[in-house]
Chains A and B, each alone.
Chain A
Amino acid sequence: MADTKAKPGQPKQGLLLDIRNLRIEATVYPPGETPKNIVLVHDVSLTLEKGKVLGLIGESGAGKSTIGLSSMGYGRGGVRITGGEVILNGRDILKGGKEGFRKLRGREVCYVAQSAAAAFNPAHRLMDQVVEATLLHGTATRAEAEKRAVALFKKLSLPNPETIGERFPHQVSGGQLQRVMTAMALCSEPDLIVFDEPTTALDVTTQIDVLAAIKDAIRDTHVAALYITHDLAVVAQVSDEIMVLRHGRLVEWGGTRQIIKEPRQEYTNALVSVHEIEHLEQKPGATPFLSVKNVTAAYGGSHIKVLKNVSVDIYPGQTLAVVGESGSGKSTLARAITGLLPPEEGTVTFDGRPLANRLADRPKEDLRQLQMIYQMADVAMNPRQTVGTIIGRPLEFYFGMRGRERDKRVAELLDEIEMGKGFLDRYPAELSGGQKQRVCIARSLAAKPKLIICDEVTSALDPLVANGILKLLLNLQQHEKVAYLFITHDLATVKSIADSIAVMYRGEVVRYGPKSKVLTPPFDAYTDLLLSSVPEMEIGWLEKAIKGRRMASAGN
């Protein structure tokens, strides 16, 4: 460990931020027990030079945001900085008190939040919010600040840079809002910007634009940055150095090239090689058991068509992946198949007979054959039911199992999802994110379905955990011969699980076929955009990808 903790040999001049032995604690209040202190960050030290970008990376709970925010002396939600020094521009900001923080925040250090949509005040125009910090600190007059803001809008390639500031937050798209927020951070000409997962909530096709804009802005303004993310491929594009964190401790710290090419720690290696699951494509069988024919569906009484003439087939025991950006209609396709949104035109046939359009008209047997797993396992399980009840209910409901017979089957299912009997009496709140998703998988398996619809099941999970879930799904497919309709926006996931792929764009299927065919050139323009937007763990990928694009993304 010793050699990786040492900073790569570089001159110490131009030092901007120097965090020494930072220790951050929080008090937790378990109900009915005495409150106790837990340490979130264990003596982490880092340094950052002027104009450099340091990427902080790790899974949820690694303490990356907490460390990032400590550079502006801020502890989120009762979190306390209890030890160490944060030296910015040569002085320890922790000793400055409240008055010191007020002078520092928004002037020397600025912050870009993960969800710009939630971080902007919906009641004020964008321009007022962008220049607010600058005006409050009195570093520029309003006219100067607005001129600077417009220049920044231009630099971040926002549409109509002169007038976009007059809009309200809900009048611009998510990707644009994220760039406006970057402009807001840059407007007061700070020395350091903390980017907290700025592209995580965006589509891949939008992410690439925002990423490029942020990178250009950092280069042109010579600002230093802490870039927090869980996606190693993203951070490899923008940062000079990368720091890997886990459980509030430093794992490895080095230059970007060294981390992604020659990781020294096992954990870093696991992060770097996470996406690689080998999955051989199965040839489509003779007859599909579920086919969607010319389905058109709409919300709001046929005014907004979200599915236009969609046809896909699913073969027994195989996986059809549906890919596309948000708003492309992929989740709506699932809702049409399950009967939650009855299609206006077209039919869904199952085992050679048409399925009733409306959920209420379907017999129990049809409902049993089609199960669904949701993106957010948190809200897909009743928080007041134990794992035993959640998995046991489909057994009772479909097969009339009771008592010992049901308990035995629940135990078998828990085994299948690689969780032990000890989880039987737990509530969902007592499980980790990955475990929750496993319980949801067990719940749908309990019905012994022919098809499971997986709606973005791995999107909310950390890469390593998501990987485990994908492997589990593939294993289960081999044992139980169940087919998946796998909805995702993540092409790496598609490559590792799909047999055939349908690419959706604005409610239409633009490309459909076996995986090998869909992923082999020549591509249509949209598939090309989608494929080329997936960050690769390679330095210089971003510039290459931007140059090679044939069309701009829709949601940008």
Chain B
Amino acid sequence: MLDIKRIPIPALIGIVLTTLFVLAAIFAPWIAPHGNGEIIGDVWEPMSSAHWLGTDNLGRDLLSRMIYGARITLFIAVLATALSFSLGAILGFSAAVFGGWYDTLLSRLVDLLMSIPTLIMGLVVLSVLPTNLITLILVMGILDSTRVYRLSRAVAVDINVMDYVEAAKLRGEGSGWIIFREILPNALSPLVSELGLRFIYAVLFLSTLSFLGLGVQPPDADWGGMVKENKDGIVFGIGAALIPAAAIAMLAISVNLVADWVLNRTTSLKGGRG
């Protein structure tokens, strides 16, 4: 089984950091020293023993905001990525297996969606629909699933012509078995590497939307929104905006370190046993 000693150091760093982020997100109300919207001091106080990361543009404790922000950021990004992957992969695989009209119809639809820049599409849709978490997740998930669809269809088309898939078809297997038992395990490597990237894109996209005021609504804030709140401080030499930005970067790197390691293990055709 999994032996901790054999996990390479970069992956270990990634796992530890990602776990910290996830734990902070889950236990936010218990860990955070202050409430999310609680004003406890002056505007943009520097770091001190009372407020480890200082305070933000309204005098709220930045550390507490960061911890609550992790909760919102991770929650939305995870759900949006999960949605985009399940939707994109299943549709992509089925398009490759069924082919014909089904494939053409889906692929052209995806082309249509992709021809509109994601951000503009997101802005238009979100300004029409009521802004709440569910629409946000749905919009992000569906827009992102077009990329996943193209990747999984391309991978599955190659796998679908392998002899072992033909053997399964000759046996009389249904499309469910072919998609989930023959194609999916063999398409996992490119999908996992894409997952690491897509998750981070989701975080960034959410940040962009929040920065533009269409994402998470105040007083709640994700990390992107917090960058926006504190951006004016940069002019006065106050680094409060850099802290959520650094958190986004750190999350991006640590998740991809884990994804790379998982990728290494899943690429092995010997079940990762060596």
Q: How far is the CA of A31 from the CA of B6 in the complex (A)?
A: 10
Check A382 against B264 for contact (C-beta < 8 Å).
no
A251 is an interface residue with CB less than 8 A from chain B:
no
Check A427 against B269 for contact (C-beta < 8 Å).
yes
Check B171 against A31 for contact (C-beta < 8 Å).
no
Q: In the complex, how many angstroms separate the beta carbon of B256 from the nearest chain A beta carbon?
A: 20
Check A340 against B170 for contact (C-beta < 8 Å).
yes
Check A367 against B170 for contact (C-beta < 8 Å).
yes
Check B272 against A364 for contact (C-beta < 8 Å).
no
Given contacts A32-B6, A33-B274, A379-B162, A372 and B167 within 8 Å (CB-CB): yes
Partner of B274, one of A31, A359, A362, A385: A31
B27 is an interface residue with CB less than 8 A from chain A:
no
**A-contact 0/1 string along B229-245, CB 8 Å cutoff:** 00000000000000000
Partner of A382, one of B170, B185, B265: B185
Q: A340-B169, A382-B182 are known; give 4 further A-B pairs, CB within 8 A.
A: A31-B270, A367-B172, A374-B163, A380-B163
Within 8 A of A (CB), among B32-88: none
Check A427 against B167 for contact (C-beta < 8 Å).
no
List chain A residues, Cβ under 8 A from B269.
383-384, 427-429
Q: How far is the CA of A379 from the CA of B166 in the complex (A)?
A: 10
Q: Nearest 3 CB-CB pairs, A to B?
A: A384-B185, A429-B269, A380-B163
Check A30 against B274 for contact (C-beta < 8 Å).
yes
Q: How far is the CA of A174 from the CA of B33 in the complex (A)?
A: 75
Q: How far is the CA of A362 from the CA of B169 in the complex (A)?
A: 12
List chain B residues, Cβ under 8 A from A379.
162-164
A324 is an interface residue with CB less than 8 A from chain B:
no
List chain A residues, Cβ under 8 A from B271.
386, 427
Given contacts A31-B270, A31-B274, A379-B164, A364 and B172 within 8 Å (CB-CB): yes
Which residue of the partner chain A has the closest CB to B269? A429
Interface residues on A, range: 20 to 34
List chain B residues, Cβ under 8 A from A382.
164, 168, 181-182, 185-186
A535 is an interface residue with CB less than 8 A from chain B:
no
Check B268 against A31 for contact (C-beta < 8 Å).
yes
Sample of 9 A–B contacts (CB below 8 Å): A31-B268, A31-B270, A32-B274, A364-B172, A367-B171, A379-B162, A393-B171, A429-B269, A429-B270
Q: How far is the CA of A429 from the CA of B170 in the complex (A)?
A: 23
Given contacts A31-B270, A427-B271, A430-B270, A374 and B167 within 8 Å (CB-CB): yes
**B-contact 0/1 string along A368-404, CB 8 Å cutoff:** 1011101010011111111000000110010000000
Q: How far is the CA of A340 from the CA of B170 in the complex (A)?
A: 8
B173 is an interface residue with CB less than 8 A from chain A:
yes
**Inter-chain contact count A-B, CB under 8 Å?**
67
Partner of B170, one of A32, A338, A376, A430: A338
**A-contact 0/1 string along B201-245, CB 8 Å cutoff:** 000000000000000000000000000000000000000000000
Q: How far is the CA of A385 from the CA of B269 in the complex (A)?
A: 9
Q: How far is the CA of A546 from the CA of B170 in the complex (A)?
A: 43
Q: How far is the CA of A382 from the CA of B167 in the complex (A)?
A: 10
Which residue of the partner chain A has the closest CB to B186? A384
Q: How far is the CA of A394 from the CA of B171 in the complex (A)?
A: 7
Q: In the complex, how many angstroms separate the beta carbon of A121 from the nearest chain B beta carbon?
A: 24
Partner of A359, one of B6, B163, B169: B169
Q: How far is the CA of A368 from the CA of B270 in the complex (A)?
A: 30
Which residue of the partner chain B has the closest CB to A381? B164
Interface residues of A (CB under 8 A from B): 30-33, 338, 340, 359, 362, 364, 367-368, 370-372, 374, 376, 379-386, 393-394, 397, 427-430, 443, 447
Check B170 against A372 for contact (C-beta < 8 Å).
yes
Q: How far is the CA of A74 from the CA of B207 in the complex (A)?
A: 54
List chain A residues, Cβ under 8 A from B169.
340, 359
Within 8 A of A (CB), among B236-274: 264-265, 268-272, 274
Which residue of the partner chain B has the closest CB to A444? B167
Check A383 against B186 for contact (C-beta < 8 Å).
yes
List chain A residues, Cβ under 8 A from B6.
32
List chain B residues, Cβ under 8 A from A31.
264-265, 268, 270, 272, 274
List chain B residues, Cβ under 8 A from A30.
274
Which residue of the partner chain A has the closest CB to B6? A32
Check A380 against B167 for contact (C-beta < 8 Å).
yes
Given contacts A31-B264, A383-B186, A427-B270, A397 and B173 within 8 Å (CB-CB): yes
Q: How far is the CA of A18 from the CA of B274 in the complex (A)?
A: 40
List chain A residues, Cβ under 8 A from B272.
31-32
List chain A residues, Cβ under 8 A from B164.
379-382
Q: In the complex, how many angstroms separate the beta carbon of B168 from the nearest chain A beta carbon?
A: 8
Within 8 A of A (CB), among B1-49: 6
Q: In the complex, how many angstroms separate the beta carbon of B271 from the nearest chain A beta carbon?
A: 5
Q: How far is the CA of A31 from the CA of B171 in the complex (A)?
A: 34
Q: How far is the CA of A382 from the CA of B265 in the complex (A)?
A: 17
List chain B residues, Cβ under 8 A from A359.
169-170
Q: How far is the CA of A443 from the CA of B171 in the complex (A)?
A: 10
Which residue of the partner chain A has the closest CB to B162? A379
For B166, B173, B186, B264, which residue has the most chain A Cβ atoms within 10 angstroms? B166
List chain A residues, Cβ under 8 A from B265.
31
Which residue of the partner chain B has the closest CB to A443? B167
Q: In the complex, how many angstroms separate the beta carbon of A332 from the nearest chain B beta carbon?
A: 14
Q: How far is the CA of A384 from the CA of B189 in the complex (A)?
A: 12
Check B171 against A397 for contact (C-beta < 8 Å).
yes
Which residue of the partner chain B has the closest CB to A363? B172
Which residue of the partner chain B has the closest CB to A393? B171
Q: In the complex, how many angstroms separate the beta carbon of A307 from the nearest chain B beta carbon?
A: 19
Which residue of the partner chain A has the closest CB to B165? A382
Q: How far is the CA of A379 from the CA of B169 in the complex (A)?
A: 15
Which residue of the partner chain B has the closest CB to A373? B167
Q: How far is the CA of A130 from the CA of B170 in the complex (A)?
A: 46
List chain A residues, Cβ under 8 A from B162.
379
Q: How far is the CA of A334 from the CA of B268 in the complex (A)?
A: 34
Q: In the complex, how many angstroms separate the beta carbon of B157 from the nearest chain A beta carbon?
A: 15
**A-contact 0/1 string along B151-188, CB 8 Å cutoff:** 00000000000111011111111000000011001101
List chain A residues, Cβ under 8 A from B171.
367, 393-394, 397, 447
Q: How far is the CA of A374 from the CA of B274 in the complex (A)?
A: 28
**A-contact 0/1 string along B129-168, CB 8 Å cutoff:** 0000000000000000000000000000000001110111
List chain B residues, Cβ under 8 A from A371.
170
Which residue of the partner chain A has the closest CB to B166? A340
List chain B residues, Cβ under 8 A from A386.
271
Given contacts A31-B270, A33-B274, A382-B182, A376 and B163 within 8 Å (CB-CB): yes
